[in-house]
Amino acid sequence: MSSAPALPAPAPSARGADAASRVVAWHEGVLVAAIALSAAYFTWRGWPFSPLLGTSVIRLFLADFQLVAVGYVGWRLWRDGRGFLRAAGSWAGLQGLLRFFRVVAPVYAAQVLYANWLAVVPLVNPRLYDAPLLASEAWLFGGSMTRWMSLPDHPAVTLLVDLCYLSFFHWIVLAIVLLHVLDGARAARRLVLALTLSTLVSTTILVAFPTLGPAFLDPASVAPIVPAMLQSGHFHDVSRAFRAAVLANPGGFTLVPFLGVSAFPSMHVGHTFLALAFLWPRHRSAFQLFLLPVLGAWIGTVYLGWHYALDGVAGIAIAAGARRVAGRWLPEAALQTHGSTTISNRPKS
């Protein structure tokens, strides 16, 4: 009596796709649960909470969504020409665009969590931990790095560094766009997963170990360069006023995204490190384009008084750990490398 033939094992690509789908679903579910639990906690404490939809946070990010859309459409037009226009007008084209925005959405959800928790840090934990960071700078560099860097008054340098610092998030969004159009959704999701993991870990740390940063603890450290700043000097003043308003009226303040005060760790450094790290292996031209403004932002974290030197080191350490986890959960798909451009093995539409 012959036995029934064994069923063929699933192809590795199918198994990989199933595992990736589970990771994506888990990733999105954790973010939704974190937002819901945070909203419940804020309500219990009597604090205002701005949810994901219909808030100033989303309005703040509209410019980045527009940048994503323009970059994506521009690339497809350059690559596919009229074929893309015909496809974009179809239902399948609309579904593809919606899937693309779904890839990006977790970054914004994580930023909503960060913005809400940043606002209430002084209410959750009134202690400050600037002293160890100042002591580390004194031991390593003989004093405050911000004071040392801001002594020379070079208005053009200050303006350029401030521009790099304030525009850092655009480079992160653009990195996601490039990975999506060059390597596919899986590569973009890997960066998005690393960014959200880094944001969640960093947010937890900044609530547990609040810090102010040099410009807030020692305003004189940046006084020589404030007149030449593009916007950071203004944001220093507004952030001080916002922190005072939160402490004076815990149940009645209005959330203004990213106006809380917290230095450790630096997500500016950590997140831009991730953008560079994901571009470096296959897209050297893009990496070189990103490098100068990213380095300008890194210098600006200390030069403009937002962070201590070790804040950036901690940001990179957290980001590197998040990148490693994201690489294990969403492993590299089979890719063909041609020069500095990576072409996925998926069939072209």
Among positive and negative, which fits the CA dihedral 197, 231, 165, 307? negative
Residue 4 lies in a domain: no
Angle between helices 168-183 and 267-279 (to 10 degrees): 30
Name the helix (H) or strand (E) containing 336: strand 335-338
Residue 2 lies in a domain: no
Domain that residue 191 falls in = 44-344
**What is the C-alpha separation between 98 and 105, in angstroms, rounded?**
10
Residue 3 lies in a domain: no
Residue 12 lies in a domain: no
pTM of this prediction exceeds 0.75: yes
Count the alpha carbons within 13 Å of 72 in the hemisphere toward its beta carbon.
Answer: 26
Residue 163 lies in a domain: yes
Residue 29 lies in a domain: no
Burial of 164 (0-12, 13-18, 19+ CB in 10 A): buried
Residue 339 lies in a domain: yes
How many domains in the chain?
1
**Tens-digit pLDDT profile for the chain (349 aa)?**
444 444 444 444 555 556 667 777 788 888 888 888 988 998 898 888 877 544 444 555 555 555 556 666 665 665 665 555 555 555 555 566 677 777 878 888 888 888 889 888 999 988 999 898 888 888 888 888 888 887 667 888 888 998 999 888 888 888 888 888 788 778 888 999 999 999 999 999 999 999 988 888 888 888 888 888 888 888 888 888 888 888 888 877 777 777 788 889 999 999 999 999 999 988 888 898 899 999 999 999 988 889 998 999 999 999 999 999 988 887 875 343 333 343 333 434 3
Residue 22 lies in a domain: no
Q: Can you tell me which residue has the tokens 């004093």?
A: 143
